[in-house]
Amino acid sequence: MLRIDINLVFTIINLLVLYFLMKKFLFKPVNNIIAKREEAIKKQFDDADEAKKQADETKKQYEASLADAKEESAKIVQEAKDKARVEYDRIVKSADEEVTKRLQKAEETIAEEKAKSLRAMEAEIEGLVVAAASKVVGEKVSVENSQKLYDDFLAEMGEK
Amino acid sequence: MEEIASELKAMLNVDTAFTIPVLGGIEIAESVVITWVVMAVMLLFAICMTRNLKVENPGKRQLILETCVTGLQNMVKGIIGEEGKQYVEYLVTVIVFIGISNIIGLFGMKPPTKDLNVTAGLAVMSIILIEYAGIHAKGTKKWLHSFAEPVAIIAPLNVLEIFIRPLSLCMRLFGNVLGAFVVMELLKMIMPAILPIPFSLYFDVFDGLIQAYVFVFLTGLFIKEAVE
């Protein structure tokens, strides 16, 4: 019933053969595929990390450029405002100058006109005075006399 | 009664399947032939299951295979620890082999583990592996020294363990399977239908798988002890 013979050796050979067969056909492919999958998963995680890092960087850059742009626009607006202010000042100043000039010219004209009319009036009055005087003094009065009379009169008037 | 006894004896006997006519005739036992069957089944299973494995989107077949293989590997790794990683594959092979051998009675074949040759072969392989692991992990000097630990006086006992361990492994498996086989044969003689079902579930399936686990568990434990 109990026998131990050469079959023990066969069993050991069988076991060794089975072990190597299993190793080649079962464990190697299965463990291989699992290792490969783990590697792939690890790679995906790494890729995701990389992508996130890149996205963060891009975001930072974008934010920085946005801030730059804001600053730039503020600067441009400020510049435009400054320029406008200068232009405004210039225009207002030139307008003022113009006005002043015109006013001056008008005043000059008025003064001139006034002087002119004054002279005309003087001439008129002179004529009138001469006429009146000649009427009062009579026909005898010569031109020199009347001229003298007129001057006296004027002097008298001016003194008054 | 005589009849039953002789019939049982005939069943228990390990027949010679065939004789190779060299060197005065090498008798190949039935158990070895059934071992070949088990090996063929395992090999076919392995080849069929590992065809076109995919890294991404594994099919149901591959998922089942991966779960089984990694589950068994993790179980054995749990026993043996990180240091004995290279022995995991052998132990998984052995647990599957003994498991299939023990429950092959369900398919009407005599379990090969009922033959002392097979269990002895397994046990010899185990003790070789245990001592090899010890030498590999510690080096020959330290390995020899480990026999005199913790005190030199128990060295004979430690040396004796080299023989006791495989003997107990071999006899435990052999006794369990033989006992289960005898009980099942007796039950089948009493009543061939219905009655053997619950007993078969216990003796063939439960006890068979437990013994496979115990064998590998103890071997793993001894290896762990040897490599520490």
pLDDT tens per residue across span A84-123: 999 999 999 999 999 999 999 999 999 999 999 989 988 8
Identify the band that residue B10 occupies on the pLDDT scale cut at 50, 70 and 90: confident
Provide the shortest C-alpha distance from residue A15 to chain B (in Å): 8
For B70, the closest of A5, A29, A34 (CB atoms) is A34
A126 in helix, strand or coil? helix
pLDDT greater than 80 at residue B123: yes
Q: Which residues of chain A neighbour B36 with C-beta distances below 8 Å?
A: 14
- Residue A139 confidence (pLDDT): 58
- Residue A138 confidence (pLDDT): 66
pLDDT by residue (tens digit) across A121-153? 888 888 888 788 777 766 555 667 767 777 877
How much is the average pLDDT of B58-78?
A: 89
pLDDT by residue (tens digit) across A47-85? 999 999 999 999 999 999 999 999 999 999 999 999 999
A19 touching B (Cβ < 8 Å): yes
A30·B89 Cβ contact <8 A: no
A5·B27 Cβ contact <8 A: yes
Concatenated DSSP letters of A20-88: HHHIIIIIHHHHHHHHHHHHHHHHHHHHHHHHHHHHHHHHHHHHHHHHHHHHHHHHHHHHHHHHHHHHH
The torsion region of residue B23 among left (phi > 0), alpha (psi -120 to 50) and beta comes to left
pLDDT greater than 90 at residue B44: yes
How much is the average pLDDT of B145-167?
A: 87
Concatenated DSSP letters of B186-228: HHHHH-SSSTHHHHHIIIIIIHHHHHHHHHHHHHHHHHHHHH-
In terms of average pLDDT, the best of A1-5, B1-5, B90-94 is B90-94
Provide the shortest C-alpha distance from residue A37 to chain B (in Å): 5
Q: Which residue of A has its CA nearest to B52?
A: A29
